[in-house]
Amino acid sequence: MNVPASRSLFHTMHQRGEPLILPNAWDAGSAKSIAAAGARAIATSSYAVSEAWGYSDGEQLPRELCWQVAAHVIKSVSVPVTVDLESGYGQTREEIGWSILQLDRLGAAGCNLEDSDPSSRQMRPVVEQSDRLSAAREAAPRENGLFINARTDLFLNNDPARHGPLIGEAIARAKAYADAGADGFFAPGLVDPGLIAKLADGISLPLNIMVMDLEANLGPLASAGVSRISFGPAPYVTVMNHLREASTKLIEAAHG
Domain ranges for the chain, please list them: 3-254
* Per-residue pLDDT reduced to its tens digit, 193-249: 999 999 999 999 999 999 999 999 999 999 999 999 999 999 999 999 999 999 999
Cα 168 to Cα 19, 127, 173: the distances in Å are 23, 16, 9
* Per-residue pLDDT reduced to its tens digit, 17-45: 999 999 999 999 999 999 999 999 999 99
In this predicted structure, the answer to whether residue 176 has a pLDDT above a threshold of 90 is: yes
Homologous superfamily of the 3-254 domain (CATH): Phosphoenolpyruvate-binding domains (3.20.20.60)
* Per-residue pLDDT reduced to its tens digit, 84-125: 999 999 999 999 999 999 999 999 999 999 999 998 989 999
- CA dist 48 and 52 (Å) reads 6
Confidence band for 130, pLDDT divided at 50, 70 and 90? very high
- CA dist 136 and 153 (Å) reads 18
The pLDDT score that the predictor gives to residue 189 is 97
The pLDDT score that the predictor gives to residue 225 is 98
The pLDDT score that the predictor gives to residue 1 is 79
Q: Percentage of the chain surpassing pLDDT 90?
A: 95
On whether the pTM is more than 0.85, the answer is yes
The pLDDT score that the predictor gives to residue 181 is 98
